[in-house]
Amino acid sequence: MSAADQMVVRVDDREARSNVVAALQQQAGVQVIVQRLDIGDYEVDGRLLVERKTLPDFALSIVDGRLFQQAQGLANAAWPAAMLLEGTAADMAACHMRREALQGALITLSLIFGLPVLRSLSPEESARLMVYAARQIRATARGALPRHGYRPKGKRKRQLHILQGLPGVGPARAERLLERFGNVESVLRADAGQLRDVPGIGDHIADAIRWAVSEDPGVYELADL
């Protein structure tokens, strides 16, 4: 395996004893570094943030309010972020939480915060899933995963499709940006302060968007002849 294929996974030190860490260390080409992370439990390949929860901890975090605080941090991150739920139906049944409460939390995570919710059955599957997701993101960044000729019909759908190409912007954030600014051009012209006023667009994403769409014009000026 070449050096370019190597992957670094930074693990929050509070996850150090997780079986996921042991599973990551067994994967070829994966280097695990344990340190304190400000956001999430796993920073994968400098491209993906993951907050991992066993199903019992997921239920407990709904009750004590941690879940949505953590979700807000992930939603404001400059990188793609996801919530990873690990466990079986039996684990969830043991939590004795109403199904409606769990569904409400999942709706809030996915539709309000714009966070994808990934599922795994075991620590080993969690490790494989995170690495695979990061490799997919890496491949997309290199242009190896084209959009397969997808052509959204209608102007609004095309605008949302374009906005989802911005850093940290998924379907939910694209909707909010378009609703606030009215068109793609206004989004691209907005300054960081205006972007931060949009729900779900925090400092990191606002700065990442401005970095992606702006450029010093002097870079392209021809030298005097």
Q: Which of 158, 145, 72 is nearest to 115 (CA)?
A: 72
Maximum alpha-carbon separation in the chain:
76
Distance from C-alpha of 187 to C-alpha of 160, rounded to nearest angstrom? 11
| 21 in Cβ contact with 11 (< 8 Å) | yes
174 has pLDDT over 80:
yes
Give domain 155-218's CATH architecture. Answer: Orthogonal Bundle (1.10)
Hey, CA dihedral for 151, 154, 155, 161, is it positive or negative? negative
Question: What is the three-class DSSP state of 144?
Answer: coil
Per-chain mean pLDDT for the chain: 84
Please tell me the least confidently modeled range out of 33-37, 106-110, 220-224: 220-224
Residue 220 burial (10 A CB sphere; 0-12, 13-18, 19+): exposed
Q: pLDDT tens across 82-132, in order?
A: 999 998 878 777 777 888 888 899 999 988 888 999 999 999 999 999 999
**What is the spatial distance between Cα 187 and Cα 116, in angstroms, rounded to a whole number?**
23
Query: What are the residue boundaries of the structural domains of the chain, listed by start?
Result: 3-141, 155-218
Q: Binning pLDDT at 50, 70 and 90, where does residue 4 land?
A: low
HSE, CB side, 13 Å, CA atoms: give it for residue 40.
25
Assigned architecture for domain 3-141: 3-Layer(aba) Sandwich (3.40)
Q: What is the pLDDT of residues 191-221, one digit of tens each?
A: 999 999 999 898 888 888 888 777 544 443 4
Query: Is pLDDT of 137 > 50?
Result: yes
Whether the pLDDT of residue 147 is over 60: the answer is no
pTM, 2 dp = 0.62
Tokens of 141: 């960044």
